[in-house]
Amino acid sequence: MKANGAMTIGEAAARTGVPPKTIRFYEEIGLIAPAERLENRYRSYDEADIRTLRFIHRARGLGFSLKDIAALLALYRDRKRASREVKRLALARVAELDRKIAEMTAIRNTIADLAARCHGNNRPDCPILDELEAAAP
Amino acid sequence: MKANGAMTIGEAAARTGVPPKTIRFYEEIGLIAPAERLENRYRSYDEADIRTLRFIHRARGLGFSLKDIAALLALYRDRKRASREVKRLALARVAELDRKIAEMTAIRNTIADLAARCHGNNRPDCPILDELEAAAP
DNA sequence: CCTTGACCTTCCAGCGGCGGGAAGCCCCAT
DNA sequence: ATGGGGCTTCCCGCCGCTGGAAGGTCAAGG
């Protein structure tokens, strides 16, 4: 084992939760810098790379788009960043989520209402299909 | 104008809200039957087609997948259908929405919390980035 | 008659964010 | 020496469209 913490893509994947394929993909689209290569052309990752991958993994877990994450990563690396911009991105994401949640809730209630009025038996009559069939708005 | 209600793809699009490209796409993937053709090879739609397209449009508006819609359409056309199956699909969709809403709400609250603790000023310190940077779980 | 421009047709490409799988190295244990 | 696991590249497919290019067709207007 080497003195420094260099590791292969598989180990990096295991330590970050980001699958090897996804790591390569992130490299390909320029989200992360091209990895160092060993003599056998294997990619090699160090602790800084691990931190970056974990950062991305967590941000993805919060549903940020890769585009947003690119911006967040730039801010993360910028020691002189203003937290204003980070907060702006976060609040935009909250607003987006609020919109989607409201929309999905409305749809959910519509379908639940229809389903409640559907007997759900062997007979063909069904308010759900009736509603979908209804004339144009 | 013809005595029957035959119309072109553009008119069908205007009357259903489904864009021409999407109608062709639905035909291509077999969601709807291949349209009749005029002598000039233009697709021709009648009132039954319009009903089908509207049905699809509404179901999409409720977030059903095209796969689900294929099933719903089959049920819609089956005079002897049991409403049970329709209800099952609807309730499955409600459950799916409930899961997604819960997930998105949790994420929303996490981000909102972090944002609330971020000054959002010119200084670099920011709990949002700190959290994303944090060590593995 | 000719042109314009709005339709229509086909096909091909791409979005986001990967995942599957092929074909081929590389390295280690047996 | 052989087997197996990992690594490399590549390209395809998923969902549900959407945009664009290149061409046919039609009605109206000059």
B104, A101: Cβ pair inside 8 Å? yes
The pLDDT of residue A2: 41
- Asked if pLDDT for residue B1 goes beyond 90, the answer is no
SS3 A78: coil
C1' (D27) to CA (B37) span, angstroms? 20
Q: Where are the domains of chain A?
A: 1-81, 82-137
CA–CA min distance A38, chain B (Å): 26
C-alpha distances in Å from residue A14, one per residue of A10, A24, A30, B51: 6, 14, 21, 52
Q: From the Cβ of A9, is strand D under 7 Å away?
A: yes
Spatial distance between the Cα atoms of A105 and B45, rounded to a whole number of angstroms:
35
Q: What is the pLDDT of residues B57-110, one digit of tens each?
A: 999 999 999 999 999 999 999 989 989 999 999 999 999 999 999 999 999 999
Residue of B nearest to A106 (CA): B62
Q: From the Cβ of B87, is strand D under 7 Å away?
A: no
Spatial distance between the Cα atoms of A89 and A62, rounded to a whole number of angstroms:
12
Spatial distance between the Cα atoms of A88 and B120, rounded to a whole number of angstroms:
8
CA atoms within 13 A on the CB side of B134: 9
CB proximity list for A120: less than 8 A, separation 6 or greater: B83, B84, B86, B87, B88
Which CATH number does B1-81 carry? 1.10.1660.10
Pairing of the two strands A36-37 and A43-44: antiparallel
The pLDDT of residue B79: 87
pLDDT-based confidence at residue B121 (cuts at 50, 70, 90): confident
Interface A-B: count of C-beta contacts within 8 A? 166
C1' (C10) to CA (A44) span, angstroms? 47
Residue of A nearest to B51 (CA): A133
Spatial distance between the Cα atoms of B79 and A133, rounded to a whole number of angstroms:
14
Q: Where are the alpha helices (DSSP H) in B2-126?
A: 9-16, 20-28, 47-61, 66-77, 83-116
pLDDT-based confidence at residue B133 (cuts at 50, 70, 90): confident
Measure CB to CB from residue B120 to each of A54, A84, A124 and give the nearest one.
A84
Q: What is the pLDDT of residues B14-31, one digit of tens each?
A: 999 999 999 999 999 999
- Sequential pLDDT tens for chain A (137 residues): 444 789 999 999 999 999 999 999 999 999 999 999 999 999 999 999 999 999 999 999 999 999 999 999 999 999 899 899 999 999 999 999 999 999 999 999 999 999 999 998 899 999 999 999 875 44
Residues of chain A in contact with residue B101, where contact means CB-CB under 8 angstroms, are 101, 104-105, 108
Q: What is the average pLDDT across B31-50?
A: 97
A129, B88: Cβ pair inside 8 Å? no
The pLDDT of residue B107: 95
